[in-house]
Structure 1
Amino acid sequence: MKPLRRLTIALTAGVAALSLTPAAHAAPDPVPASPYLYQWGAKPNPATIMSQTGVKAFTLAFVLSDGGCNPAWDGTRPLTGADATLIRNIRAAGGEVIPSFGGWAGRKLGQHCSSADALAAAYQKVIDAYQLTAIDIDIEAAEFENATVQDRVLGALKIVKQKKPGVRTVVTMPTNRSGLNTWGRRLVTRAKELAAPVDVWTVMPFNFGGPSDMVAGTKSAVDGLKEHVKTTFGLTDDAAYRRSGLSSMNGVTDTGETVSTADFRAIHDWAAGKHLARFTFWATNRDRGNCGASGDNCSGTNQGTYDFTKIVAGYTG
């Protein structure tokens, strides 16, 4: 995912009075269709996005380490601050959230917590603070390419499941065009060996390294994931697809690929046909076109505002 930027947001007193508890009605499942939303750059209003697109959930990026084994938004903002307000706003509009731990940049809890027990406690702080039904572990870079840290993350997720069996766990990781790299295969295999119950394995099929057919590349990457999940856990093709997912990138990627809205619709239809457990993208903040080069607030392509979010909205697997 894109590098984080520091940001300080003032807490809005009027909204702060809203409860952080999920709405009394049946809350939407945040796992299948929850595009990423972050709190740096130009910050769109989630309630406006929901009303304009029909999307019902967001994946909020990122929970990191504050320098020790303590969770903080982007490593700097407390759990009780502006991001809590954001969650209140989303829930007040009838939506739900799935916080994402990790990402490409910043201090990772998996590295700064000394044990699986300590890391699980850090995850649990966030779960308890917002009464969560799901969490996303976006494991990348040094946190991903380290056997000790991988095992620590899996051990922590196992503890979280033991204490909160109703919380769904998503692991999101990099991929090659053909599927998981060596570190990705190890992570899935070790989950089986450690009996760490991950509900959904998600790959990020972009930044392959230059322009290419992104629909074909996405399909082959997810198929490679599915094959390893199938073999590792002894599943059928259908069952393995239902434990797999994808997180694309809208518009021009960091390495110059382009995922157009037409591409994304084709990926959506394929994902729905396979009943993937997760179909999302990075990020709603950049779901705007005709606004210049690709960046935190622009897709770099010719598209309508929130076209990608509209495609994600309503996906149920």
Structure 2
Amino acid sequence: MKRFLVGAVAAACTAMLLPVQAQAAVNPILAAPYLYQWGNVPSATSVMQQTGIKSFTLAFILSDGGCNPKWDGTRSLTGSDKTLINNIRAAGGEAVPSIGGWSGNKLGQKCSSASALAGAYQKVIDAYGLKAIDIDIEAQEFENNTVQDRVLGALKIIKQNNAGVKVVITMPTESTGPNSWGKRLVTRAKELGAPIDTFAVMPFDFGSGGDMAAKTKSAVDGLKNHIKSTYGLSDDAAYRRSGLSSMNGKTDTNETVTPANFRDIITWANSKHLSRVSFWAVNRDKGNCGAMSDSCSGINQGTYEFTKALAGFHG
């Protein structure tokens, strides 16, 4: 008994001497709001200090016109964005580059094969020693069978060569769950053996207003149900493969996600043990600043109110 107690005390003392990051590593994909490098860009480290958030999803990695990744299609992987990632890490956080998005040239289209696309993804992973990537698949990448399969084939290669790197696929959705393109993406991931860690939907821009918290839950439930049936999982296991990325304040189609809506979503997401919650975006997480824009939510809210709420998501 004495030897046990001495060992336990010694272990506890050793733990206290370890660096904070060694004691509690940041899950990069769990609670990681989007942050983009255009318009009025907030300081990521200042946001971390004010809100308690630990991870950011950085938008966007695009094609430079060929099968080569650059930030917003123009900025080198070794420039200011690398400094940003280093600063986030120095403050005890983590970053997840998002590859894709709604507009611009997409790597999935510009790379001619799954292996070439995997090579482009690998350049991003190697540039920063990444723990995770987010594939934001929309528009022409999303609504194209060949490109969907190319993306999934590339991600299969990435997971084979980088077993510890988490892969998130973020995609559009209807209020009841993924549309036919989204369902195909999940089904094909299973058929092709592409081990995606998390499928996340973007439950906004439905165009019909209404209770956005309820519609968000309905959309994620639809995703969960398709993952459950595709992979033969329990409800609990399927929820743990599911995630969401909301939009704070006014959406592109004039819906409104209020701070109260988002807190409700976070509470629900915790109860279901989702593997990811995000929102678009920290840059616009402030209110009383006029109409919805890249730097304003378009509603009355506290500064970083959504980011503070997201910091309470633990999966």
The 1-side partners of 2:81 and 2:42 are apart by 13
Equivalent position of 2:153 in the other structure:
155
Equivalent position of 1:273 in the other structure:
271
Equivalent position of 1:169 in the other structure:
167
Give the aligned length: 295
Equivalent position of 2:210 in the other structure:
212
Specify which of 247, 257, 265 is matched with residue 255 of structure 2.
257
The 2-side partners of 1:47 and 1:177 are apart by 34
For residue 146 of structure 1, what is the amino acid of its counterpart? N
Q: In angstroms, what is the RMSD of aligned CA positions?
A: 0.9
The 2-side partners of 1:232 and 1:314 are apart by 31
% identical equivalent positions? 70
Q: Does 1:108 align with 2:106?
A: yes
Q: TM-score, normalised by structure 1?
A: 0.92
Measured against aligned partners, the alpha-carbon deviations of 1:163-219 in whole angstroms (never above 9, x if no partner) come to 000000000000000101010000000001000000000000000013211011101
Specify which of 43, 55, 58 is matched with residue 56 of structure 2.
58
Alignment of 1:161-310 (within 5 A): 161-310=159-308
Larger radius of gyration: 2
Secondary structure, counterpart of 2:246 in structure 1? strand
Equivalent position of 2:42 in the other structure:
44
Q: Does 1:91 align with 2:89?
A: yes
Measured against aligned partners, the alpha-carbon deviations of 1:135-177 in whole angstroms (never above 9, x if no partner) come to 0000000110000000000000000000000000000000000
Deviation at 1:24, TM superposition (A): 6.8
The 2-side partners of 1:210 and 1:54 are apart by 33
CA contact (8 A) 1:33 1:280 kept: yes
For residue 203 of structure 1, what is the amino acid of its counterpart? V
Q: What are structure 1's unaligned runs of at least 5 residues?
A: 1-22
Secondary structure, counterpart of 1:61 in structure 2? strand
Deviation at 1:131, TM superposition (A): 0.2
Equivalent position of 2:136 in the other structure:
138
Equivalent position of 1:12 in the other structure:
none
For residue 112 of structure 2, what is the amino acid of its counterpart? S
Q: TM-score, normalised by structure 2?
A: 0.92
The 1-side partners of 2:22 and 2:38 are apart by 30
CA contact (8 A) 1:102 1:108 kept: yes
The 2-side partners of 1:79 and 1:312 are apart by 28
CA contact (8 A) 2:266 2:312 kept: no
Q: Does 1:117 align with 2:115?
A: yes
Q: What are structure 2's unaligned runs of at least 5 residues?
A: 1-20
Deviation at 1:30, TM superposition (A): 1.0
Structure number with the higher helix fraction is: 2
Runs of 4+ in 1 over 2 A off after TM superposition: 23-27
The 1-side partners of 2:22 and 2:213 are apart by 39
Equivalent position of 1:316 in the other structure:
314
Secondary structure, counterpart of 1:246 in structure 2? strand
Measured against aligned partners, the alpha-carbon deviations of 1:216-273 in whole angstroms (never above 9, x if no partner) come to 1101100000000000000000000000001000000000000000000011111110
